[in-house]
Chains A and B, each alone.
Chain A
């Protein structure tokens, strides 16, 4: 069997890539190693309402709750509230990721993409040094799938990139290791997604509470793998929940683990190969959010495949258009936020408390760099020195 493109992984990045490629008439196959698209869920399930602009999801079945914004709690409990439009890519909707992924896959299939479940890619096919497709295991059978483009939408643990010679191994410093419960029967009826910071809460990361309807919420933690010990993320999360009267009587409907790359953007293209989504580290290094980037990049990838098929040219030169587009759209932001991540990791809890105290009454709708600096420094002049690296970044 021969395809224009074979997509490894039926997550959002894979399905959206397949959708846009198939829509242009390309012959596309998605392979998924699991027995059900979107299951098990490996995610906090927060996404910006900007997803509506892409029109890749029908209906509203995938939405659990619509959020008004985010609240950030500093280590001493000082709260900063952000309206949804200032709260970044992770606030807006809390979704059911299994339904969300299945709706995106359904959209791809409707545009003509094929989908194979229980099919695990095991290596690249090569002829005279050129990549000609993949070898896959389907149930107990090994099959060869020929394709001009191989799309690695195979997540944080991406094999496709490694096979093609792209260095994808993450340093523990660049990975958040996560656990999340979906807790039922809690007293948490809030229109906000909450984020809790502090070395004693979540070393190098944060705890989140994303409401999923009245008295149900995703309560999760991410800690930096370089600060982790075996099972530490779960221990810290359990400790957090036990200390919150509103949460501790909750019972889990689900427990899941996750791994979130908080790395610099990487090379995402080589001859006959594209990497999309978490596989290309298209994740905000501060928040760990990646859904919006996966969808945006998936669109660019699908459109580039269309061009490649039209010209019957599948080399780095043509496919680079994809990388140019996503790096232009949000690569710079990811790089900047990576630098901010490093600065924040060096901050003492006390500094975070001062920052929160300065910002707790700040009106973000009147946001400007000058006004925010003024707000920060008026209350806590010593912040000026601590924030010098951030100021330099803002000017760059």
Chain B
């Protein structure tokens, strides 16, 4: 089974950039004031998911908000 990838819920993101600053893979960019995860680079470490102060980062395919 493929590893799950982090996904930013764009409607929740408030653009603080915290996730970008801690991503060890350099897989997140701020595009038009929303963080955006490059799933080719994401190694599923969950640091960004835990860091987001408002829970705007979840896992690909998760049907509900965290």
Contacts and interface: CB of A to CB of B under 8 A. Distances in A.
Contacts of B37: none
A162 interface: yes
Nearest to B65: A231
Given A40-B14, A178-B16, A257 B23 contact: no
Interface in A18-55: 33-34, 40, 42
A230 B52 contact: yes
A172 interface: yes
Interface string A197-234: 00000000000000000000000010101001111111
Interface string A306-345: 0000000000000000000000000000000000000000
Contacts of A257: 14-16, 18, 53-54
B49 interface: yes
Interface in A227-243: 228-234
B65 to A, nearest CB: 9
Contacts of B15: 40, 42, 257
B42 interface: no
> Size range of the interface on A?
20 to 34
A175 B18 contact: yes
A34 B33 contact: yes
B26 interface: yes
B14 A177 contact: no
A171 interface: yes
Given A157-B17, A255-B14, A257-B14, A175 B22 contact: yes
A34 B15 CA distance: 11
A178 B21 CA distance: 14
A179 to B, nearest CB: 5
Interface string B1-34: 0000000000000111110111110100010010
Contacts of A261: 21
B41 interface: no
B53 A178 contact: yes
A156 B53 contact: no
Interface residues of B, number: 24
A94 interface: no
Given A33-B30, A258-B16, A231 B52 contact: yes
A256 interface: yes
Nearest to A179: B53
A221 B47 CA distance: 19
Nearest to B58: A230
A143 B18 CA distance: 28
A233 B55 CA distance: 9
Given A34-B33, A178-B16, A228 B22 contact: no
Contact of B55 (A33, A169, A230): A230
A259 B17 contact: yes
A42 B52 CA distance: 14
A227 B21 CA distance: 16
Interface in A257-283: 257-259, 261
Contacts of B50: 172, 225, 228-230
A155 interface: yes
B51 A172 contact: yes
Which among B16, B20, B53, B54 has the highest number of chain A CB atoms within 10 Å? B53
A170 interface: yes
Given A156-B17, A257-B16, A172 B22 contact: yes
Contacts of A162: 26
Interface string B36-51: 0000000000010111
17 contacts: A156-B16, A156-B17, A172-B51, A175-B18, A175-B21, A175-B22, A177-B51, A221-B53, A228-B50, A230-B55, A230-B58, A231-B52, A231-B55, A232-B53, A256-B14, A257-B54, A259-B51
Given A177-B53, A230-B49, 10 more contacts: A156-B21, A169-B21, A169-B26, A170-B21, A175-B18, A175-B21, A231-B54, A234-B53, A256-B16, A257-B18
